[in-house]
Structure 1
């Protein structure tokens, strides 16, 4: 409605305003205060006013409510942040201190639930927007909300102190977590390098089936690494990443060596085949050597060599069979089998070579001692005398531990020399083994003397 000079502007609230003004005038209030009321009621206001004290209490209660809400928000935020820290620790550390930290955090969580419930109950219990809110109700609301705020702040203080004590555990956990990503990446790069090396080997005509199977077996491990430490734990993830990287590197190295290994096996096949043929020829020469030994020397000098030709022939035949198996394994690219078979062939040929050489060496040594046994005797006596001089160096009497075996060596040499004069066909081989044994005994005594003196000098 539009106001006109003959009809002043009025509103539905005017009668109530006038009534309130009249009431205040009758109560003796200043007219200025009464005149100020219509503005509060003009326009159909939604709240009734009960005086300055009620409104002041309402404002204080609202301030307490806002402060409690801020405390609640800060506590909730701090708890969320701290939960991330605790989860970081539990993902890495299962030590007693870490378990205690988890238990303490759970206890704090229960306390936080309690004070949060008290806060929410206080908020729900007081409607500060009510039109008829009385001063006493507002005062109670302020008291309850202030108490809730104080409890929230007190628990927040406990939470802050707890967070401060987590520093060492959290630092350790974060250090461990920082290792996860690089470790997983190293594992991935290792698998990629192994795959590339395997492809290169295949392009050169090598199947490398066993390496391919080993690489395929790592696929589930890569899946677990991709799932992350959150699902499998930091320590297991680190261990898995290191294991995958180590195995992938082994596969890469072996794949890279495959061409070289194949060439090496090919060379060994040819070399051992040639050696087997040469030993076949040499084994055929053992029988004439044995014939000469039988004709010229006592049986004790050659009896242990009687089966050398037979054993040499059998060893060579067995070596040739193993060579054929090794060649088949090489064609089928069964590298470990080929390598093992070639090692067996080499051992057989070494044994045969030693046996065949033993016959010729025996004849040469027996010929030498038969021509001049004195040379062997003097060689052995010189070793004894040299040890005796060492035993007496710096002493007036020798140590019995040294003198006794040296004296026994002298007697043993004398007995060996006596056997050369005992018959028409002396056992020259027994003589040679005795002198060699004497020299070995003397060498042990010399070593003991030097060790004893070295120990004494150290003290």
Structure 2
């Protein structure tokens, strides 16, 4: 107890001596009361809030820059260019508020020992203002970013298509190359297909160089074009064996047909002789040149067949196909001409034996059309009745012409055909008008 009592008084003067030095200087913070510490804390809080706002704005700007770069990589439309211009304008605004914030931070050292209340209050005010401007600018940035939605969606969609499109193009090129190799291994030439495939080589090089060099839209278009062209080469290469076989079949078929037409052409002259003997000149004069024309057409067809055979042997597939089409057209026209002579004789024989069947057939068509024109009406429409009345008169004239000593049966047949054709047009017109009316 004696020692404790003796030691306590000795500590009081030491406290009194050291207290002023602890709060007034000498490397220690000056005490300026509870209000001063509160202002310092508020200023520091304002500084922290401004720093957070600055970080958020900087992050938002970085994110938005990525969006703008995405758009510009894909889109060169006026809307995209306007977005870039607007982003630059917002960037200038961000630079201004960022400078304001940095200036406010640099102007006030909130850790100074001699920071007084007025300085702390001013720091708080300026930092709070800087924080508000940063937050306001961030709001502008967010509104601008929302407006970019359609442009960004479009750009991201195209970017998402890019890698798959390029890969599809590469795979299709590979498939075309493999198909071409298979065709050649089978002994078929495909020089035109090989040339078309080789022409795609530079396009593949550009695809491999990437969209960074050639642009996303151009690369997408190139990938689609390469895939389409390579797919065409692949499909044609795979069809080539079948195409060769089809050409072989057509060569045999058309050669056989030409031989048959040569035989049939020789039968035209006897038919013409009978027509000349039994009927008037008008019934057969348009057929006079059929034998010569048929023979010439068959000769042309045989010449083209030989050319097609050479093209096939040389594996000039497009030439062979075109020549065979020419042969077919020549034989078709020859077939029609040769058939016309026999058909003419058959029809003239039938009408000479019994013209009444042709007359009744035509009158029935006229009466049927007249009944249709009167259906639901007291009187027919003039535009329907007039051609039907004219058809009756025309048929009557054709029938009367048969009463001569040497009737022109071919004229009679062409007249009845013309009458039925006119009647059919009137019937079609009536039905169409009534269909629209319904």
* TM-score normalised by the chain length of structure 2: 0.83
Instruction: Please state if 1:324 is matched with 2:306.
Output: yes
Aligned pairs for 1:335-350 (under 5 A) are: 335-350=317-332
Instruction: Please state if 1:354 is matched with 2:336.
Output: yes
Partner of 2:427: 446
Rounded to whole Å, the distance in 1 between the matches of 2:314 and 2:114 is 97
Instruction: Please state if 1:209 is matched with 2:188.
Output: no
- Which whole-Å deviations, capped at 9, do the CAs of 1:420-441 have from their partners, x for residues lacking one? 2223x32221111112112222
- Which whole-Å deviations, capped at 9, do the CAs of 1:290-346 have from their partners, x for residues lacking one? 222222221111111111111111111111111122122222222222111111110
CA 1:142–1:394: 2 relative to 1, 3 Å? closer
- Of 370, 379, 388, the residue aligned with 1:397 is 379
Distance apart, 1:246 and its partner CA: 2.5
- Of 3, 7, 15, the residue aligned with 1:32 is 15
Partner of 1:51: 30
Rounded to whole Å, the distance in 1 between the matches of 2:111 and 2:194 is 76
Rounded to whole Å, the distance in 2 between the matches of 1:93 and 1:33 is 78
Distance apart, 1:168 and its partner CA: 4.2
- Of 363, 388, 399, the residue aligned with 2:370 is 388
Partner of 2:142: 160
Distance apart, 1:71 and its partner CA: 4.3
Rounded to whole Å, the distance in 1 between the matches of 2:397 and 2:53 is 108
- Which whole-Å deviations, capped at 9, do the CAs of 1:61-109 have from their partners, x for residues lacking one? 8777666555444332221111001222333444555444322211111
Q: Secondary structure at the match of 1:192?
A: helix
Question: Please, what is the CA RMSD of the aligned residues?
Answer: 3.5
- Of 109, 113, 126, the residue aligned with 2:91 is 109
Partner of 1:85: 67
Q: Secondary structure at the match of 1:420?
A: helix
- Of 251, 256, 267, the residue aligned with 1:274 is 256
The range that moved more, 121-130 or 250-259, is 121-130
Q: Which has the larger radius of gyration?
A: 1
CA 1:227–1:52: 2 relative to 1, 3 Å? farther
Q: Is the 8 A contact 2:290 2:338 kept in 1?
A: yes
- Of 216, 223, 246, the residue aligned with 1:241 is 223
Instruction: Please state if 1:305 is matched with 2:284.
Output: no
Q: Is the 8 A contact 2:30 2:114 kept in 1?
A: no
- Which whole-Å deviations, capped at 9, do the CAs of 1:34-85 have from their partners, x for residues lacking one? 4479999xxxxxx844634599799988777666555444332221111001
Rounded to whole Å, the distance in 1 between the matches of 2:352 and 2:221 is 70
CA 1:287–1:117: 2 relative to 1, 3 Å? same
Partner of 2:357: 375
Unaligned 5+ segments in structure 2 are 1-11
Distance apart, 1:353 and its partner CA: 0.7
Aligned pairs for 1:122-271 (under 5 A) are: 148-149=130-131, 151-271=133-253
Rounded to whole Å, the distance in 1 between the matches of 2:257 and 2:403 is 43
- Of 264, 286, 289, the residue aligned with 2:271 is 289
CA 1:389–1:141: 2 relative to 1, 3 Å? closer
Q: Secondary structure at the match of 1:206?
A: coil
Q: Secondary structure at the match of 2:315?
A: coil
CA 1:392–1:153: 2 relative to 1, 3 Å? closer
The range that moved more, 406-415 or 232-241, is 232-241
Rounded to whole Å, the distance in 1 between the matches of 2:57 and 2:186 is 67
Rounded to whole Å, the distance in 1 between the matches of 2:204 and 2:134 is 47
Q: Is the 8 A contact 2:272 2:288 kept in 1?
A: yes
Distance apart, 1:115 and its partner CA: 3.3
Distance apart, 1:222 and its partner CA: 3.1
Q: Is the 8 A contact 1:286 1:356 kept in 2?
A: yes
Distance apart, 1:122 and its partner CA: 5.5
CA 1:78–1:375: 2 relative to 1, 3 Å? closer
Q: Is the 8 A contact 1:61 1:138 kept in 2?
A: no
- Which whole-Å deviations, capped at 9, do the CAs of 1:3-25 have from their partners, x for residues lacking one? xxxxxxxxxxxxxxxxxxxxxxx
Unaligned 5+ segments in structure 1 are 1-28, 41-46
Distance apart, 1:377 and its partner CA: 2.1
Q: Secondary structure at the match of 2:403?
A: coil
